Chains A and B, each alone.
Chain A
Amino acid sequence: MADVRIDGVGKKYAGRAVLSDLSLTLNDGECFTLLGPSGCGKTVLMRLIAGFETPDCGVISIGGEPVADAASGQMLPPDKRGLGMVFQDYAVWPHMSVFDNVAYPLKLAGTDAVALRERTLRAVGLVGLSGLEARLPSQLSGGQQQRVALARALVSEPRLLLLDEPLNNLDANLREEMRFEIKALQQKLGITILYVTHDQEIALGISDRLAVMDENGVLRQIGAPEEVYERPVDDFVFRFLGIANFLPVRRDGDSLYIGGSMAAWVGPPPDKPGATLTAGFRPSDVLLARDEGGSDGLPGIIRRASFLGAQVDYLIDIAGTLVRAALPSHECLARNLLFVEGDRCRVELASVQWFEGNIVAGDRA
């Protein structure tokens, strides 16, 4: 069992609290992602789990066994926690060959020569580096070095694998490829993975569950990727998971209006009470039509049109609020929806998240 329990953990640096009273549970065999902006404390939490840092308060348990307990001062050293870890810069030792890098944990564990060789070659093969065992890291590409780090983390068959933004230094194609490979490996080996990243695309693609952490180290929402994406608990989570549009909506009796204007809201009704609300939606939720004098949808004016190849990006003025829309290019061509600046259009929304109050999203355009 490699479930991880974090109970009321806190950590301060130079008097500043990076984590406060944080609690979290990772289930055995799941791939769990900690998603948050840079500097929010997610790597600190990972280092606390790994044992490189000591918590100021709280308890961390792995597989039911406490590995760090601030109250009793109990701290299990990193190598006794049964972990593997892949670092952001891979930390592949440059003076050792691929084989020696991967075999290092087994050598220290006193594994006999035959088993060491067999397990090392198996780990190297698992990450697709067979035949490159004798090479030095300087003779490998970034992606291959990343695989060496992964093999080294896996060779001692850890119960928990910690991945600290290991795909950041790879180019977009390789990043995507490795993302799938890590997921496939996790499913094949059945180990628990804690993945730390600020990249929402990786988080959504790789995780069984994910937690969104804000810049103050507070966990805003924990859930399955589709749940967090489709039903964000607040605007922070909504913004963090992709480009966000916000339209202020005013309730006046039974009628709904956009912002301070007299333009009526046309679209999914709010599921929240209150006189002031905000409708949140993604650019892909926007359905566009030409304004031919009808009353379907919200009236808008195209302020900017950008053809981006696979899709067309529009900036639309709806009653004084700017929102972005992304339409597939082929749909625009087929339905005569290639607008130019100044064109009038009608906007319908396929899906809307409602938030209480008036959320100003000044940077969304």
Chain B
Amino acid sequence: MSTILNFKNIHKSYDANPAVKGVSFSVDAGKVLGILGRNGAGKTTIVNLLVGLLSSDEGQVELFNSMPPYDQTTRSKIGLAPQRIALYSSLSIMENLTFFATLQGLKGSELEKKVNYASEKMGLETFIHRKVKACSEGMKRRANMAVALLSNAELLLLDEPTAGVDIQSRQHILDVVLDLKNSGKTVLYTTHYIEEADQVCDEVLILHEGRALACASTQDLIAQYGGDSQISYQETEQGQPFVLSSREPAKAVHQLFDSHSSIFNLRVIPPSLQDVLTNLLNGEKLSA
């Protein structure tokens, strides 16, 4: 599997304030990498460094084996949905899509096809002729992402695409990301919602104050940093609940059955990305 994106030991500061401190990661073709971090962790700076809008102070960025500033061919392989709604508010969604499709070099029936594809994919057909300023936040977000789908981009950079949207729109956006993944596209997805990263990402980079705390597949992260599974049970039907922690929950459950004649309301809660994040941040605090 070829590596599409390489981010090697990148440092970036705004004046004297470091925003990214020695971050490294790479993304293979067809994978979804999630960058998970709080606001101000450096997610958008990484996206801007990747697309060449910012230059790094140290380190090397590579996209499709070329370094910024990228040529036209490399740029045509990138689809970007910025964190803000980067659309012309006085124009309709259709006019926006048509304009940005033109900048991708599309014309005629090809342009029409792409605009239809993007609007259908994002569920915008009903509002396609509505001016952006008259759209709800959810519609705007979907339109913002639709623009990223106009090109034949191999890599999609989605910078917090679900920020401030309703549950339906969020799920729609997540479904589209999964579709993109299934169709072989490479996606870089920044978010501060753990459940989103859990749902759509193959790998997750956990970013904290500009530093990468960990980067691996969700399973590996959970195995490495998630800690113990939680096992809760009751000894009698109305009895007091007990909670056990164990690295090997199956073994622990066997032992429970062996040692108790009856067990009620047994539940095994495996560690989640939330636990990974909590443990990593606690570790950060301790080392600080």
| A and B physically associate | no
